[in-house]
Amino acid sequence: MASLKILFLLLLYLLICPAVPADSSYTVKLGTKVAWPPYHLDLKSGAAGIAVEALDCVMARIKQPYEINKLPWSRAQALTKSGALDGFFSASQSDKRDRYAQLSSVFIPQIRKFYFLKKHFPAQLQLYSMDYIKESFTVGARFSSNAMNYLKINNYNIGAEHLSETVLMRMLDAGRMDAVLENSLVFALMVKNQNRSMDEYLSVEVGKKNMGVYFSKIFLEQHPNFITLFNANIPPCSLIK
């Protein structure tokens, strides 16, 4: 129901807000994760999800044709770096990505949290500072994700990493790591889909890391006005309120 409401609001914005044309002679080629619900859904008919709907709102406003390529996340980034793709999303800022691409204004919300199983770690929430977690626990995140990059550059003790969030949850259950770092919306939906309860978990917020689209510097050199136009049309489509 929430995604339907968001889609309705995006369509309403398109009706009431005038569009500004971009370079309609060129189709922008973007890469996404194959699936990362609720942001990205893997459908036979194509790509969907709340992040795709928000992007579509911006592209419709500037009348910009585009295509979405569903790929392993590391490949979407590598192809953007090489210039085979024009960009990738949904992505949060990192210095590594900044070297070969430019992040748009952010318009896709994200809160990252560490999740512990309460049956293994029943201590009170206030005891779990970032320093305490770093010194006392093994942690994990998705392979090639910015969350994993955060853990590595901040010298956390990595217990596991995997391409699949579902596999990471099984690793957490099996004790392969003490906590997993994940997007709060993604984790809550995974728990719901497995008929489990968030009451099983202790969550410790790391912070907001909102997302946008990374456009390759190669693409932006060829289309120097694109990102200014794209960013100017984000506000009516933004999911960050």
pLDDT digits (tens, 9 = 90+) for 5-63: 334 334 444 444 444 555 568 999 999 999 999 999 999 888 899 999 999 999 999 99
User: 199 is written with which tokens?
Assistant: 């009451």
Amino acid identity, position 211? M
d(CA 108, CA 52): 10
Mean pLDDT, to the nearest integer, of 171-192? Answer: 94
User: 83 is written with which tokens?
Assistant: 């210039």
Same-domain pairing of 50 and 81:
yes
Same-domain pairing of 204 and 217:
no
Amino acid identity, position 214? Y
User: How many other C-beta atoms are found inside a 10 Å radius of the C-beta of residue 50?
Assistant: 22
Same-domain pairing of 96 and 128:
no
Specify the number of domains making up the chain.
2
Range of the domain at 96: 2-109+210-237
Same-domain pairing of 12 and 97:
yes
pLDDT of residue 150: 95
pLDDT of residue 126: 73
pLDDT at 131 over 70: yes
Q: What percent of the chain has pLDDT over 90?
A: 77
Same-domain pairing of 160 and 76:
no
Mean pLDDT, to the nearest integer, of 99-119? Answer: 96
pTM: 0.84
Same-domain pairing of 48 and 78:
yes
Same-domain pairing of 91 and 148:
no
Same-domain pairing of 101 and 119:
no
User: 42 is written with which tokens?
Assistant: 């893997």
Q: What is the CATH number of the domain that holds 214?
A: 3.40.190.10
pLDDT of residue 23: 56
User: 2 is written with which tokens?
Assistant: 């929430």
Same-domain pairing of 26 and 69:
yes
Mean pLDDT, the chain, whole residue set:
89
Same-domain pairing of 229 and 185:
no
